[in-house]
Amino acid sequence: MPPKRAWQRMLSGRRLDLLDPTPVDIEIEDIAHGLAFVARWNGQTRGDWPYSVAEHSLLVEQIFTAMSPRPEPRWQLAALLHDAPEYVIGDMISPVKAAIGPDYGALDDRLSAAIHIRFGLPARLPDAVKKRIKAADRLSAWLEATTIAGFAEAEADRFFGRADRTLLHSLSLHLRPPAETRAAYLARHHALLSDL
């Protein structure tokens, strides 16, 4: 039998090998397009449009920036790209990731490293930066859960930690067509790259 295909053809024409991704096969337009069409919460959200991973990524970067006294553009870029591998592997809810086990994490790590290198970041982020991005990610998840995914605040507190209410007042979720989200993601990416 011929070997199974382990690559994905991108709209840019690139062929990304999922088992051995290289930075040269990664384009921000492919990431922005893919993430704008991947729904968070398995699509189980209120509203006329799915809440996309691209929209979530924009919010995480906004929260990360608000939580940082003097944010460095490279770490803001890392926050924007924190879920970038999902442009090819999709967004899986935490229970599914746990069921798959460490193989999912290894695939995500390989893709993240290639994406980081492509955009001038270290393959592996410093632990302190990863923790700050994770804190922003958890606050975003809390806000999404209670605003559009049907969670009560007490339930969201249990799963995502108690939200910093002072930051919540300045945050809002956007549900918009994928083309608008894709454009917003690309614009933010370009703005952060120009600050590096």
Q: What are the structural domain ranges in the chain?
A: 26-190
Instruction: With cut-offs at 50, 70 and 90, classify the pLDDT of residue 49.
Output: very high
Tell me the average pLDDT of the chain.
94
Residue 91: the pLDDT is 86
* Residue 189 to residue 194: CA distance in whole angstroms: 9
The answer for residues whose C-beta is within 8 angstroms of residue 52's C-beta and 6 or more apart is 35, 36, 37, 38, 39, 40, 178, 181
* Residue 119 to residue 154: CA distance in whole angstroms: 39
For residues 18-27, give the mean pLDDT: 94
Query: Does the pLDDT at position 97 exceed 80?
Result: no
The answer for residues whose C-beta is within 8 angstroms of residue 103's C-beta and 6 or more apart is none
The answer for residues whose C-beta is within 8 angstroms of residue 28's C-beta and 6 or more apart is 119, 186, 189
Residue from 18, 182, 41 nearest 88 by CA:
18
CA neighbours closer than 13 Å in the CB half-sphere of residue 119: 31
Lowest mean pLDDT among 9-23, 60-74, 84-98, 144-158: 84-98
* Residue 45 to residue 176: CA distance in whole angstroms: 13
CA distances, 143 to each of 5, 94, 111, 171 (Å) = 38, 16, 27, 9
Q: What is the pLDDT of residues 70-94, one digit of tens each?
A: 999 999 999 999 999 999 998 887 7
- Show the DSSP H helices in 37-126 as ranges: 53-67, 73-80, 86-89, 94-100, 102-118
- The CATH superfamily of 26-190 is Hypothetical protein af1432 (1.10.3210.10)
For 99-138, b/e burial (b = at least 16 CB within 10 A) is eeeeeeeebbebbbbbbbbbbebeeebeeebeebbebbbb
